[in-house]
Amino acid sequence: MIPRTWKQGFQLLFNVLLAMAGPAVLAYIITTHIMPSMGKWNSRVATVIILGGYTIAITLMLRRDMPRSLRQKLLEIGVPVCIARGYDLRGSTANAERCPECGKGIDPRAASALSLR
Protein backbone atom coordinates (compact mmCIF):
# COMPACT_ATOMS: atom_id res chain seq x y z
CA MET A 1 0.00 0.00 0.00
CA ILE A 2 2.93 2.33 0.60
CA PRO A 3 4.07 3.78 -2.75
CA ARG A 4 7.80 3.37 -3.33
CA THR A 5 8.12 5.44 -6.52
CA TRP A 6 6.45 8.58 -7.91
CA LYS A 7 4.61 6.42 -10.47
CA GLN A 8 3.18 4.21 -7.72
CA GLY A 9 2.24 7.35 -5.76
CA PHE A 10 0.31 8.79 -8.72
CA GLN A 11 -1.34 5.42 -9.35
CA LEU A 12 -2.45 5.28 -5.71
CA LEU A 13 -3.76 8.85 -5.87
CA PHE A 14 -5.65 8.08 -9.10
CA ASN A 15 -7.15 4.93 -7.58
CA VAL A 16 -8.24 6.79 -4.44
CA LEU A 17 -9.84 9.58 -6.52
CA LEU A 18 -11.55 6.98 -8.71
CA ALA A 19 -12.80 5.10 -5.65
CA MET A 20 -14.14 8.35 -4.17
CA ALA A 21 -15.77 9.72 -7.33
CA GLY A 22 -17.03 6.44 -8.78
CA PRO A 23 -19.79 5.69 -6.25
CA ALA A 24 -20.91 9.34 -6.18
CA VAL A 25 -21.22 9.48 -9.99
CA LEU A 26 -23.01 6.11 -9.98
CA ALA A 27 -25.45 7.32 -7.29
CA TYR A 28 -26.10 10.53 -9.26
CA ILE A 29 -26.82 8.61 -12.48
CA ILE A 30 -29.10 6.10 -10.74
CA THR A 31 -31.11 8.65 -8.73
CA THR A 32 -31.54 11.18 -11.55
CA HIS A 33 -31.83 9.06 -14.71
CA ILE A 34 -32.70 5.44 -13.87
CA MET A 35 -34.76 5.46 -10.67
CA PRO A 36 -38.22 7.11 -10.62
CA SER A 37 -38.34 10.21 -8.44
CA MET A 38 -39.25 9.39 -4.83
CA GLY A 39 -38.98 12.83 -3.25
CA LYS A 40 -36.82 12.98 -0.15
CA TRP A 41 -35.95 9.26 -0.54
CA ASN A 42 -33.76 10.05 -3.56
CA SER A 43 -31.00 11.48 -1.37
CA ARG A 44 -31.26 8.56 1.06
CA VAL A 45 -30.94 6.02 -1.74
CA ALA A 46 -27.98 8.01 -3.08
CA THR A 47 -26.33 7.90 0.36
CA VAL A 48 -26.78 4.13 0.58
CA ILE A 49 -25.32 3.69 -2.94
CA ILE A 50 -22.34 5.93 -2.11
CA LEU A 51 -21.56 4.22 1.21
CA GLY A 52 -21.95 0.77 -0.34
CA GLY A 53 -19.71 1.81 -3.22
CA TYR A 54 -17.05 3.10 -0.81
CA THR A 55 -17.17 -0.16 1.14
CA ILE A 56 -16.74 -2.21 -2.04
CA ALA A 57 -13.97 0.06 -3.40
CA ILE A 58 -11.93 0.02 -0.16
CA THR A 59 -12.34 -3.74 0.21
CA LEU A 60 -11.19 -4.34 -3.37
CA MET A 61 -8.19 -2.01 -2.99
CA LEU A 62 -7.06 -3.68 0.24
CA ARG A 63 -7.62 -7.21 -1.05
CA ARG A 64 -5.69 -6.50 -4.25
CA ASP A 65 -2.69 -4.91 -2.58
CA MET A 66 -2.36 -6.94 0.63
CA PRO A 67 -1.00 -10.20 -0.83
CA ARG A 68 1.61 -8.30 -2.87
CA SER A 69 2.86 -6.29 0.13
CA LEU A 70 3.00 -9.52 2.16
CA ARG A 71 5.17 -11.11 -0.55
CA GLN A 72 7.42 -8.02 -0.53
CA LYS A 73 7.88 -8.44 3.24
CA LEU A 74 8.66 -12.14 2.84
CA LEU A 75 11.33 -11.33 0.24
CA GLU A 76 12.78 -8.63 2.53
CA ILE A 77 13.27 -11.14 5.37
CA GLY A 78 14.81 -13.71 3.01
CA VAL A 79 11.96 -16.10 2.26
CA PRO A 80 12.09 -16.95 -1.47
CA VAL A 81 8.58 -16.56 -2.93
CA CYS A 82 7.29 -15.67 -6.39
CA ILE A 83 6.39 -11.97 -6.36
CA ALA A 84 3.64 -12.49 -8.96
CA ARG A 85 1.65 -15.29 -7.33
CA GLY A 86 3.34 -16.06 -4.01
CA TYR A 87 4.50 -19.55 -4.91
CA ASP A 88 6.97 -20.88 -2.32
CA LEU A 89 10.30 -21.25 -4.13
CA ARG A 90 12.18 -22.93 -1.26
CA GLY A 91 12.15 -26.27 -3.12
CA SER A 92 13.62 -24.73 -6.29
CA THR A 93 17.23 -25.03 -7.33
CA ALA A 94 19.58 -22.09 -6.80
CA ASN A 95 20.03 -21.52 -10.56
CA ALA A 96 16.28 -21.49 -11.36
CA GLU A 97 15.38 -18.45 -13.47
CA ARG A 98 11.60 -18.85 -13.71
CA CYS A 99 8.83 -19.63 -11.24
CA PRO A 100 7.74 -23.26 -11.78
CA GLU A 101 4.11 -22.31 -11.14
CA CYS A 102 3.51 -19.19 -13.26
CA GLY A 103 6.64 -18.94 -15.42
CA LYS A 104 7.46 -15.35 -14.41
CA GLY A 105 11.09 -14.38 -13.78
CA ILE A 106 12.30 -14.88 -10.23
CA ASP A 107 12.85 -11.69 -8.22
CA PRO A 108 16.57 -10.99 -7.57
CA ARG A 109 15.94 -11.05 -3.79
CA ALA A 110 14.38 -14.52 -4.07
CA ALA A 111 17.27 -15.67 -6.27
CA SER A 112 19.83 -14.49 -3.71
CA ALA A 113 17.86 -16.17 -0.91
CA LEU A 114 17.92 -19.42 -2.93
CA SER A 115 21.68 -19.19 -3.54
CA LEU A 116 22.41 -18.54 0.16
CA ARG A 117 20.87 -21.84 1.23
Q: List contacts with Zn ion (CB under 5 A).
A: 82, 84-85, 87, 99, 101-102
Helix (H, G, I), strand (E, B) or coil at 91: coil
Shortest distance, position 100 Cβ to Zn ion, whole Å: 8
Task: Rank residues 19 and 96 by Cβ distance to Zn ion and give the closer one.
Answer: 96
Shortest distance, position 34 Cβ to Zn ion, whole Å: 43
Shortest distance, position 105 Cβ to Zn ion, whole Å: 9
Angle at alpha carbon of residue 54, lines to 48 and 58, rounded to 5° = 150
Return d(Cα 99, Cα 81) in angstroms, integer: 9
Q: Give the torsion sign (CA, 107, 108, 113, 117).
A: positive
Task: Rank residues 74 and 82 by Cβ distance to Zn ion and give the closer one.
Answer: 82
Task: Rank residues 46 and 83 by Cβ distance to Zn ion and give the closer one.
Answer: 83
